[in-house]
């Protein structure tokens, strides 16, 4: 679509629900699925449609929702009087828009771009309203879609107002609609709250449109795609659905997983080809893994980059700012934070590397730590290429270790070390002959 073209599409996202069943101080739509607020998953699916406007309807005291959906505008539904009333609160923001309006829900994050496109296409073929339906295994409290002989939607009956015969209908209403903008608010102005809940139902516009001689069509999607999240249990189910999708995507792009069900990814995890991922690996946000990387069991990643051919784990933790170079090795019980580990360098055992640069082909011995915090500020350690740091060394930052330098095991290094030098910083060993036996004898004396 060119810069001067308009899509003729707008969206109203309903997100005013308190999420009482969540038992949370956080607005329901901000609970995360794969480390991303669920409402932003919905926004992601809208983006390819290039909508001219997206208006989010939220409740009062939900500034965090407005921040999450910024720069899209929001409006506030001060009284929760039903879905019809919620949509009406967006009228001012939409102004004179005269295209197609998608009405979506912030707690229904999995609706696909393709389904939204299908609804828009159906609307543009002559229907004034397109309802998104589905056939759940257990219809329960879902509103039922009553179709006429031509397959158009005759009415949407809320479960609380349905007769036993209507409750037997299998096609249910998801709540999602696509409506001709010029008709939407005119119909909403006619909706009353004469129903079991005393609310203004958005669904009532279907019968009103039919009465006025307008076509009201239906498009169907799967129950999984239309999954709503209203409780912690449903949030866990949604997480499982998303994780399955992310694992499948990673494997489709050339990654192998020894035990896929034990690997957890973030919505934005990027994994290259011929990557092997062991069991019980967790990827937090902002992680990029190159090609031919070997990730062993029980590793945790967040905010980090791993270049081609590197080996990580088992039991390694890469924190934000960890940048692992090509063919580097990060071993068991190693934690890396805000550090560059250059090509071919090895940090293989029981080490903490924070605020550091480790030169190419350097070898960091077991138990080495960079002492990067003085109680007030963080400081940096720089190690040149080809250096060897002996086991159980403490590098007290700020400090620089030259290229091909060697640090003796057990050293506490507080001063810079020149290229090619040996630095040993440990207390002198003292030996007292016979002291151990005299000590034991004294303890055994009564």
Q: Which residues are catalytic?
A: 349
Give dist(CA 206, CA 212) in Å, integer.
Answer: 10
Give dist(CA 277, CA 255) in Å, integer.
Answer: 8
Burial, 372: exposed, middle or buried (Cβ in 10 Å; 0-12, 13-18, 19+)? buried
Give dist(CA 223, CA 357) in Å, integer.
Answer: 50
Burial, 410: exposed, middle or buried (Cβ in 10 Å; 0-12, 13-18, 19+)? middle
DSSP 416: -
CB pairs under 8 A, 24+ apart, for 237-241?
238/33, 238/38, 238/109, 238/110, 239/33, 239/34, 241/110
Both structure tokens of 320:
């934000």
Considering Cα of 51, then 53, then 179, then 82, what sign does the dihedral take? positive
User: In a 3-state reduction of DSSP, which class is residue 167?
Assistant: helix
Element (H, E) at 87: helix 83-88
Element (H, E) at 440: helix 435-444
Give dist(CA 218, CA 153) in Å, integer.
Answer: 6
Please identify which residue in the block is written with the tokens 């669920």. 38
């Amino acid at each position: 679509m060119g810069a001067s073209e308009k899509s003729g599409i707008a969206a109203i996202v309903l997100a005013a629900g308190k999420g009482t069943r969540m038992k949370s101080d956080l607005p329901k739509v901000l609970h995360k699925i794969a480390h991303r607020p669920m409402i932003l998953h919905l926004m992601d699916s809208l983006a390819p449609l290039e909508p001219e406007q997206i208006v989010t309807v939220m409740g009062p005291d939900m500034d965090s929702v407005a921040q999450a959906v910024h720069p899209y505008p929001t409006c506030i539904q001060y009284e929760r009087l039903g879905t019809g009333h919620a949509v009406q609160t967006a009228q001012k923001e939409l102004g004179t828009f005269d295209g197609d309006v998608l009405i979506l829900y912030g707690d229904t994050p999995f609706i696909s771009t393709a389904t939204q496109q299908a609804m828009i296409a159906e609307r543009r073929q002559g229907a004034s309203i397109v309802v998104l339906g589905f056939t759940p295994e257990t219809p329960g409290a879902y509103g039922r879609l009553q179709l006429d002989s031509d397959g158009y939607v005759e009415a949407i009956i809320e479960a609380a107002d349905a007769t036993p015969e209507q409750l037997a209908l299998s096609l249910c209403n998801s709540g999602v609609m696509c409506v001709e903008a010029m008709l939407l608010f005119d119909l909403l102005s006619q909706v009353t709250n004469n129903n079991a809940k005393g609310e203004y139902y958005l669904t009532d516009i279907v019968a009103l449109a039919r009465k006025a001689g307008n076509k009201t069509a239906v498009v169907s999607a799967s129950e999984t795609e239309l999954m709503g999240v209203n409780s912690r249990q449903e949030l866990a189910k949604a997480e499982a659905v998303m994780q399955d999708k992310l694992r499948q995507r990673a494997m489709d792009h050339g990654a192998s997983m020894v035990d896929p069900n034990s690997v957890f990814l973030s919505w934005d995890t990027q994994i290259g080809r011929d990557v092997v991922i062991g069991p019980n690996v967790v990827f937090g946000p902002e992680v990029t893994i190159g090609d031919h990387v070997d990730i062993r069991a029980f590793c945790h990643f967040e905010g980090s980059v791993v270049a081609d051919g590197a080996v990580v784990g088992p039991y390694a933790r890469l924190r934000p700012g960890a940048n692992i170079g090509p063919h580097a090795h990060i071993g068991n019980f190693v934690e890396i934070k805000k550090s560059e580990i250059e090509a071919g360098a090895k940090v293989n055992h029981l080490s903490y590397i924070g605020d550091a640069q480790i030169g190419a082909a350097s070898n960091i011995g077991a138990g080495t730590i960079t002492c990067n915090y003085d109680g007030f500020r963080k400081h940096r350690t720089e190690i040149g290429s080809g250096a060897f740091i002996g086991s159980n060394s403490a590098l007290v930052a700020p400090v620089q270790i030259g290229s091909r330098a060697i640090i003796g095991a057990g050293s506490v290094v507080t001063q810079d070390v020149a290229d090619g030098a040996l630095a040993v910083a440990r207390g002198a060993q003292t030996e007292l002959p016979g002291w151990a036996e005299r000590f034991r004898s004294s303890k055994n004396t009564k």
